[in-house]
Amino acid sequence: MTPKVVVGITGATGAVYAVRLLKRLKAAGREIHLVVSPAGVLNVHHELGLDRKALEALADVAYNPADVGAAIASGSFATEAMVVVPCSMKSLASIAHGFSDNLLSRAADVTLKERRRLVLMVRETPFNLAHLRNMTAVTEMGAVVFPPLPAFYHRPTTIEEIVEDTVERVLSLLGVNGARPKSWNGL
């Protein structure tokens, strides 16, 4: 059976990471289940000029974030992992408190309760204490907090290289075979 990955996109800056990740998951043979918040749609359009339809065309199944009765709202729907890319502080807060106020945060809640891998690509700067406490809470619950912070020791020269490096590391964390994270082999 094709492994299923849930991808959530929220209204933080960094839409380019989301699109790159969707394309790589597809290339890696994953079945993509996508849920994009309204603020996520706003941001993807602002940053990349893509509308909801174009974004959802990159997934196998796309859900309405209000559809809390969808398959990914239940732990009985077998998925491999979930990633929220980028993850706003609002969605982080919802996940950290098990609030499940929409399909995206419910799917994350399910991923945690089923002890599956959840990667949150949180994005804000600077952080206030609520942000930091919520990151601690989700880490205690088993999620991986992965802010898209570039590394420069591979000397990237384009934004694309920076994005690719981050996305490959996330794919590796999601357990995707064929992920190509750059490794540091010493000076």
Ligand X SMILES: Cc1cc2nc3c(=O)[nH]c(=O)nc-3n(C[C@H](O)[C@H](O)[C@H](O)COP(=O)(O)O)c2cc1C
Give the tokens for residue 160: 């694309």
Stretch that binds ligand X, among 40-48, 51-59, 73-81, 142-150 (CB under 6 A): 40-48
Which residue in the block uniquely carries the two structure tokens 């600077």?
Answer: 126
Smallest separation (angstroms) from ligand X to the CB of 8: 9
- Print the binding letters for residues 42-61 with ligand X: x by CB under 6 A, - otherwise: xx--x---------------
Angstrom distance (rounded) from CA 97 to CA 106: 11
- Region for 98 from its dihedrals, namely left if φ exceeds 0, alpha if ψ lies in -120 to 50, beta otherwise: left
Per CB under 6 A, 123 contacts ligand X: yes
Task: Please give the helix or strand (H or E) that residue 34 lies within, else none.
Answer: strand 31-36
User: In this chain, which of 26, 45, 90, 116 binds ligand X, going by CB under 6 A?
Assistant: 90
**Which phi and psi angles does 146 have, rounded to 5°?**
-130, 85
Tell me the per-residue interface mask from 124 to 153 with ligand X, x by CB under 6 A, - otherwise. x-----------------------------
Closest-CA residue to 109 (of 91, 132, 124): 91
Q: State which of residues 7, 35, 37, 176 lies at the interface with ligand X (CB under 6 A).
A: 37
Among 35, 70, 89, 163, binds ligand X (CB under 6 A): 89
In the block, tokens 């990349």 appear at 48
Contact between 21 and 98 under an 8 Å Cβ cutoff? The reply is no
Binder of ligand X out of 4, 5, 6, 11 (CB under 6 A): 11
Amino acid at 151: A
CB of 91 to ligand X, least distance (A): 4
93 binds ligand X (CB under 6 A): no
The site for ligand X (CB under 6 A) is made up of: 10-13, 37, 39-40, 42-43, 46, 88-91, 123-124
